[in-house]
Amino acid sequence: MKCQSCEEPATVHVTNIVNGHKRESHLCKSCAEKQQFLKHQELNLSAILQTVIGQHIGPMTDELSRLTCPSCGIKYMEFKAGGRLGCPNDYRVFQSALEPLLEKIHRSRRHVGKVPPHATKNAARQAELMDFRNQLRQAVETEAYEEAARLRDLIRQKETADEPG
Amino acid sequence: MNLDSLTQNNGEWLRGNGPEADIVISSRIRLARNLSSYPFSNRGSAHQKAEIETSLRDRLTRLDFMPRLEYLMLPGLSSIDRQLLVERQLISRELANTEGPRGVAVCPQETVSIMINEEDHLRLQVMRSGFALDEAWQDIDRLDDQIEQRVNYAFSEEFGYLTACPTNVGTGMRSSVMLHLPALVLTKQIEKVFRALQKINLAVRGLYGEGSRASGDFYQISNQVTLGKSETTILTEIREVIPQIISYERQARSTLTRESRQALHDRVRRAYGTLKNAMMMTSEETMDLLSSVRLGVNLGLIEDVSIPTVNELFIHTQPAHLQKLMGAALDGEERNAARARYLSSRLRENGPHLN
């Protein structure tokens, strides 16, 4: 089937029902975009999530919008724009902002269910490892290679000690 | 793993048996997991991602999980091979289409797949034919424990398993059941079912998940909530609602056979005839027609083709499978012609007897 507006193959098929009258349109992708048919279909989960997050950022203070995670460097505003967090530590750093959001998504703020038998014991050491990795990243960025090498060895040592079994 | 061999079997989810297999295609559970001392995938540097991939690959291949897992590195695969894995539901479209070090560990039966460096560092999946959520949960729970012996998961007592997207945090579990609901679609009751499911916080998606349309009248019912409910509670909620949907579909089927048997019979035979005789066939049209044929076989209106064959045709006529079977890369038009030829020859293998 060809596009109604040009000669390209029609890939977008829209059926509109207005006052009980059915109207079908068959268009190619670019004509559909021009006529704004495609926009509606691109409502994806992250777009919806951003709206939800947006509703919560409204009354929030400047302080929160400037909040940055010391481990991965993501700003709360970046999370708001992208819908994805930067690292596990963000759940602590952004906790006060995340809780109302979690309430909205899940109608709950607390985990119920499976607990991994090993992970909890190591939580402190894992946070430490993350910090070392962060320092390593900064050392590489500032070309402090000796420091980077020291950190790399330290991380390896800690990781081996951590490895269960 | 030789990917070409995948086209020679149906994989787990289209095997066509298992409990309630005429309506329930498959049961699937996935768990999102992350390493505790790395940034999430979207924020990880190329170097970190490579490190994660190497270390997880190493640990996964050393698991004493039976059957043995085989590991595929995505950057080394052609786009057709990646698409083939998507069509078989072994990897997500996201994993197929992003860049960087990433991969998937798969077991030969295709019941288990573990993606590395998707949106989360690890995405575990277990799939079972038919309505078998409990068995799927037992498998994935054990697999998860085995991995956790070797890997430090990001977990907090308050928020559970920590994930890149807050919509997955908590259990990190998405459990879904794929249903074939042609009679509810034909009798226009499907919207009613959706609304009822949305009220109890269950999501309805098409065959290939998020954003895909329900082609072939396949629908995936899954939980949306991952925080504040235990895995058992979530599974029970789904397990309780599925028999109701199955019984609605059965009622709709018996209404159709009772009140419009001739029209239904006509529809089924037209679909069968078109699949056998057409010269050009898009994958959308194939899905719709095969759906009618599948309904017809299940209602005893067509007897010369089996459900496993129909299931196989659903997957073999997908673009990447078709190109694998033909042994050549084909553009859209060529694919439509090849698809029609393939369908025709496969359906003519069966006798000409229509009931």
pLDDT at residue B317 above 50?
yes
Place of tokens 């559909």: A32
Residue A107 has a CB neighbour count (10 Å cut-off) of: 12
Tell me the chain B residues in contact with residue A71 when contact means C-beta distances shorter than 8 Å: 39
Same domain, B265 and B209: no
Confidence of residue B227 (pLDDT cuts 50, 70, 90): very high
Report how far apart, in Å, the C-alpha atoms of B230 and of each of A107, B24, B53, B223, B312 are: 14, 24, 30, 12, 36
**CATH number of the domain within which B234 lies:** 3.30.590.10
Question: pLDDT value at position B214?
Answer: 66
Q: Identify the weakest region by mean pLDDT among A44-48, A67-71, B227-231.
A: A44-48
- Asked if residue B323 and residue B344 are part of one domain, the reply reads yes
The predicted pLDDT at position B354 comes to 43
Residue B135 and residue B53 in one domain:
yes
Average of per-residue pLDDT values in chain B: 91
Instruction: Measure the CA–CA gap between B244 and B246, rounded to whole angstroms.
Output: 5
* Residues B38 and B141 occupy one common structural domain: yes
In three-state secondary structure terms, B70 is: strand
Could you tell me which residues come within 8 angstroms of residue B107 by beta carbon, excluding any fewer than 6 positions away? B65, B67, B68, B69, B70, B113
Residue B121 has pLDDT above 80, yes or no: yes
Asked which of A155-164, B58-67, B113-122, B231-240 is least confident by mean pLDDT, the reply is A155-164
Which residues constitute the domain of residue B318?
Answer: 261-354
Greater pLDDT, B284 or A13: B284
Give the residue from A49, A85, A141, A159 with the most B CB atoms within 10 Å of its CB, the best one to mutate. Answer: A85
Who has greater pLDDT, B211 or B1?
A: B1
Encode A74-87: b = buried (16+ Cβ within 10 Å), e = exposed. bebeebbebbbbbb
How many independent structural domains does chain B possess? 2
The partner residue sitting opposite A111, judged by closest CB among B37, B170, B232, is B170
Assign B97 a pLDDT band (cuts: 50, 70, 90).
very high
Q: Tokens 């057709």 sit at which residue?
A: B80
pLDDT at B353: 45
pLDDT at A23: 75
- By Cβ distance, the residue of B36, B167, B226 closest to A126 is B36
Name the residue with higher pLDDT: B272 or A14.
Answer: B272
Same-domain check for residues B292 and B243: no
Cβ-proximal residues to A141 (8 Å cutoff; 6+ apart), any chain: none
Residues contacting A110, CB < 8 A, separation 6+: B158, B159, B227, B228
In this complex, is the C-beta atom of A102 within 8 Å of any C-beta atom belonging to chain B?
yes
Nearest to B31 by CA among B110, B137, B181: B137
- CA A1, CA A24: separation in Å to the nearest integer? 13
Best mutation site among B31, B36, B225 for testing chain A: the one with the most A CBs within 10 Å?
A: B36
> Of the residues B201, B221, B252, which one is the last residue of a structural domain?
B252
Q: What is the structure's pLDDT at B324?
A: 93
B15 and B64 in a single domain? The answer is yes
Evaluate if residue A22 carries a pLDDT over 60: yes
d(C-alpha B324, C-alpha B321), whole Å = 5
pLDDT of residue B21: 86
Q: From the CA of B103, how many Å to the nearest CA of chain A?
A: 21
Three-state secondary structure readout of A11-71:
CEEEEEEECCEEEEEEECHHHHHHCCCHHHHCCCHHHHHHHHHHHHHCCCCHHHHHCECCC
Position A61 scores a pLDDT of 59
Residues of chain B contacting A78 with CB distance shorter than 8 Å? none
Q: What is the ipTM of this complex?
A: 0.87
Mean pLDDT of B182-208: 89
Q: B242 and B295 share a domain?
A: no
- Would you call B131 helix, strand, or coil by DSSP? coil
In a shared domain, residues B309 and B177: no
3-state secondary structure A103-123: HHHHCCCCCCCCCCCCHHHHH
Tell me the count of A-B CB pairs closer than 8 A. Answer: 155
Q: Which residues in chain A touch residue B232, judged by CB atoms under 8 angstroms apart?
A: 113
Separation CA B52–CA B65 (nearest Å)? 20
What pLDDT, on a 0 to 100 scale, did the predictor assign at position A103? 95
Residue A161: predicted pLDDT = 63
- CB nearest to A91's CB, from B38, B141, B159: B159
pLDDT of amino acid A46: 65
Most confident of A28-42, B52-66, B161-175: B161-175
pLDDT score of A66 more than 50: yes
Chosen domain end from B187, B219, B252: B252
CA-nearest residue to B42 within chain A is: A86
Final residue before a domain boundary, out of B252, B271, B288: B252
Q: What is the pLDDT of residues A96-147, one digit of tens each?
A: 999 999 999 999 999 999 999 875 555 666 667 777 877 887 888 888 888 8
CB contact at 8 A, B231 and B237: no
- Domain ranges within chain A, ordered by starting residue: 1-41, 45-106, 117-162
Measured between alpha carbons, how far is B149 from B342 in angstroms, rounded to an integer? 47
Does the pLDDT of residue B352 top 90, yes or no? no
Output the pLDDT for position B300: 93
CA R_g for chain A: 25
pLDDT value for B213: 57
pLDDT range class, residue B355, cuts 50, 70, 90 = very low
- pLDDT at residue A39, rounded to an integer: 52
**Closest-approach residue (CA) in chain A for B149:** A164
What distance in Å separates the CA atoms of residue B233 and residue A4, rounded to the nearest whole number?
51
Residue B351 has pLDDT above 60, yes or no: no
